[in-house]
Amino acid sequence: MRRVVCPGSFDPVTNGHIDIIGRAARQNDEVIAAVLTNVNKRALFSVEEKLDMLRASTRGLPNVRVATFNGLLVDFCRENDVTAIVRSLRSVSDFDYELQIAQMNYQLSGVETLFMTANPQYSFLSSSLVREVAQYGGDVGSLVTPYVEERLRAKYAARD
């Protein structure tokens, strides 16, 4: 069985994330969409909220499961018999950063990283941009699923 992981902070999950997860799901037996608990990032959503939105967003992909992890991704890969890490590249600057991480992960564990180029319609998209637009009441309907859009609106309404 070929099992891969699509890791991320998913704060929130965007249509760009779902595109990569779906494309990976068509090419592999199982995809784990893994929410990283990153202490270095200040998150808008809790891990439980991110898991909920990710499950709702991947409901139509039967070979995708959602999980969370702390610590090193390579440890998660070993514990879950993951053969490769799938990462998205939106730009050349993404490649520079992702290449370093991929090489470190391989050095630590032998786990390969597979790069997928972002769909051009999502190449500008990031969770931080979605949060910023949503925070000021902008339309994020084409950037996230309706459920995620609803959760964003509720989160920012609660802060006011």
Structural domain spans, the chain: 3-158
Q: Give pLDDT, residue 159.
A: 77
Known binding residue 155? Answer is no
What mean pLDDT is predicted for residues 6-18? 97
Write out pLDDT tens, residues 16-52: 999 999 999 999 999 999 999 877 778 999 999 999 9
Known binding residue 122? Answer is yes
Has this prediction a pTM greater than 0.85? Answer: yes
Identify the architecture of domain 3-158 in CATH: 3-Layer(aba) Sandwich (3.40)
Write out pLDDT tens, residues 112-138: 999 999 999 999 999 999 999 999 999
Distance, CA of 104 to CA of 80 (rounded, Å): 19
pLDDT confidence of 139, banded at 50, 70, 90? very high
pLDDT at 3 over 80: yes
Q: Long-range contacts of range 79-82, CB-CB < 8 Å, 24 or more positions apart?
A: 80/3, 80/5, 80/32, 81/1, 81/3, 82/3, 82/4, 82/5, 82/32, 82/111
Known binding residue 61? Answer is no
Cα 145 to the center of its chain, rounded Å:
14
Give Cα separations from 79 to 18, 22, 74 (angstroms): 24, 23, 9
pLDDT at 160 over 70: no
Residues forming the active site: 17, 41, 90, 127
* 112-117 vs 30-36, strand pairing mode: unpaired
Known binding residue 46? Answer is no
Q: Which of 83, 61, 85 is nearest to 5 (CA)?
A: 85
User: Is omega for the bond preceding 12 within 30 degrees of 0, making it cis?
Assistant: yes
